[in-house]
Every structure is written in structure tokens, then in C-alpha cells.
């Protein structure tokens, strides 16, 4: 079974500065997808960024970028120019790419990191 | 395009009762997944449906069941509610059989007293 670990229960950042959230995962599969989701106080889960394991290039989405280290099974999220609206719980998630497997179609989540943005 | 909708948004039930939650996916999406979120256990996968077929199921007791209709709308049912079933229940949809991006609804907050 796959596991996802977020070792930072809480992080804080000053507005306009950069912060990096950590995520490690464990899997025996070679093909999979990784995601970062944001959950603000409204509880609406919002997809922030995705990474395909077969792609070596790190994904970027505006102010959000990832550092994907496949061999180390590490997937960190960097938020640049932090804004007050970035304050939320952030979840790292894994999804298998193998059809028919026991973990196919489901997301396995880490425990989350609460990000506070100070003005 | 409208997002994933879930009804009701809030629900209070008594131990021993049963409850049905509903999820309408994004138009054109055929896969629906359900997750339970609690402070203690975090986000846990319940089940996933595609074209009315359950493709995967998480490690939950048989009191938790679901189904998907021909219009892709999905319902989940919890029978004989227990206090520990109090949680936020999230539904997510994706468009195809191999699609990997899941888009979440606002959730249903279930409180069992």
C-alpha cells in the first residue's frame, strides 16, 4: 500500500515571501500521479498542482511550483510571493496510474500542513 | 461549467439512524469518489464509481455503501450510525476512466449525536 507523509503540521510565512511545504511518499509503483490540494476554512478542496511521475520536469502553476525527486520519493510545494489568500490546509496526495489495481482511482492523502500567512 | 455539488451541506442524526448523502458531479464527468475527513484519521477513501460500477472500495465497514446512477449522480448511505461516523464527507468527480484529476465538492458535514 502507498503512504504519504507530511512532516510539517504547521508552517507560517510573511506575505510576499516564499515558503516550501514538504511531502514524502512510499510506493513500489513506477507510474503514478502526485497532487497538492488546498483546503481553506470553507473546506472546499482545491487542486493546486499535479505532477506525472514519468515527467522529469517539475510542474509549475503561476506562483506554485514543485520539486519532484522521484528517486528520493519527495514532492515539495513551493509558494512564491505568498498572499493572504494562500492561508489554508495543504494536502499532498498520491494516485496510482495502473488500471485495475487495488489503489487505482483513489487518492491517498498526507495528514496536511496548515499554512498561516502573516501580513 | 458548474462544479461538484453535494446535498445536504449539513446534517445532524442520532446514533442508530441511517443517512443518505448525494453528489452531483461536474457535467460530463463519469467517475465519482467519496472520502471521509475527520480530525483524527484525516482524509480516507471510501469508494469510487465509474459508469454505475464500483471500481474500488476503501477499508470501511459494510454499513457504508454507495451507488451511482446512469446520469453519474452518486449517493452514499451509512446505516446504523455511530458517533465515530461524525465527519466531513467529500465527493470528487473526474471525467473519464483513466482521468487522474479529481475535483471536489464542498462536502457534507455529518454530526451524529
pLDDT per position as a tens digit, A25-82:
999 988 899 999 999 999 999 999 999 999 889 999 999 999 999 999 999 999 999 9
Distance from CA of A82 to the nearest CA of B (A): 24
| Pairwise CA distance, residues B38 & A43, whole Å | 12
Q: Which of A118, A111, A116, A117 is nearest to A22 (CA)?
A: A111
Q: What are phi and psi of B21, to 5 degrees?
A: -110, 145
The strand pairing partners of A117, in sequence order, are: A13
Q: Which of A13, A27, A18, A38 is nearest to A91 (CA)?
A: A38
How far apart are the two ends of chain B, measured CA to CA in Å? 37
Under the banding of pLDDT at 50, 70 and 90, the label for residue A104 is confident
pLDDT at B99 over 70: no
Contacts of B48 in chain A (CB under 8 A): 105-106
**Is the separation of the CB atoms in B58 and B45 below 8 Å?**
yes
Those residues whose C-beta lies under 8 Å from the C-beta of residue A63, and which sit 6 or more positions away, are A79, A80, A81, A82, A83
Q: Which of B33, B101, B107 sits opposite A105 (nearest CB)?
A: B33
Of B107 and B56, the one with more pLDDT: B107
Q: Do A46 and B43 touch (CB under 8 A)?
A: no
Those residues whose C-beta lies under 8 Å from the C-beta of residue B62, and which sit 6 or more positions away, are none
Q: Do A106 and B88 touch (CB under 8 A)?
A: no
Contacts of A44 in chain B (CB under 8 A): 104-107
| Pairwise CA distance, residues A93 & A4, whole Å | 7
3 state DSSP class of A84 = helix
pLDDT per position as a tens digit, B42-93:
999 999 999 999 988 999 999 999 999 999 999 999 999 999 999 999 999 9
Residue numbers of A between 51 and 90 with CB closer than 8 Å to B: none
Distance from CA of B89 to the nearest CA of A (A): 11
Amino acid at each position: 500500500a502507498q503512504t504519504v507523509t507530511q512532516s510539517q503540521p504547521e508552517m507560517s510565512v510573511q506575505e510576499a515571501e516564499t515558503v516550501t511545504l514538504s511531502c514524502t511518499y512510499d510506493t513500489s509503483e513506477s507510474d503514478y500521479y502526485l497532487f497538492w490540494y488546498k483546503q481553506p476554512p470553507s473546506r472546499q478542496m482545491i487542486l493546486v498542482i499535479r505532477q506525472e511521475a514519468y515527467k522529469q520536469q517539475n510542474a509549475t502553476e503561476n506562483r506554485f511550483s514543485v520539486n519532484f525527486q522521484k528517486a528520493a520519493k519527495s514532492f515539495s510545494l513551493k509558494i512564491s510571493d505568498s498572499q493572504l489568500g494562500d492561508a489554508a490546509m495543504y494536502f499532498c496526495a498520491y494516485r496510482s496510474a495502473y488500471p485495475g489495481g487495488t489503489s487505482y482511482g483513489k487518492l491517498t492523502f498526507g495528514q496536511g500542513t496548515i499554512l498561516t500567512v502573516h501580513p | 461549467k458548474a462544479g461538484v455539488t453535494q446535498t445536504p451541506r449539513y446534517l445532524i442524526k442520532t446514533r442508530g439512524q441511517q443517512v443518505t448523502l448525494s453528489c452531483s458531479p461536474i457535467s460530463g464527468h463519469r467517475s465519482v469518489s467519496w472520502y471521509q475527513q475527520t480530525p483524527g484519521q484525516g482524509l480516507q477513501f471510501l469508494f469510487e464509481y465509474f459508469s454505475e460500477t464500483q471500481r474500488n472500495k476503501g477499508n470501511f465497514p459494510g454499513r457504508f455503501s454507495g451507488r451511482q446512477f446512469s446520469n453519474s449522480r452518486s449517493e452514499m448511505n451509512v446505516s446504523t450510525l455511530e458517533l465515530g461516523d461524525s465527519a466531513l464527507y467529500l465527493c470528487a468527480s473526474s471525467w473519464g476512466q483513466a482521468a487522474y484529476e479529481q475535483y471536489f465538492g464542498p462536502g457534507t458535514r455529518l454530526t451524529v449525536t
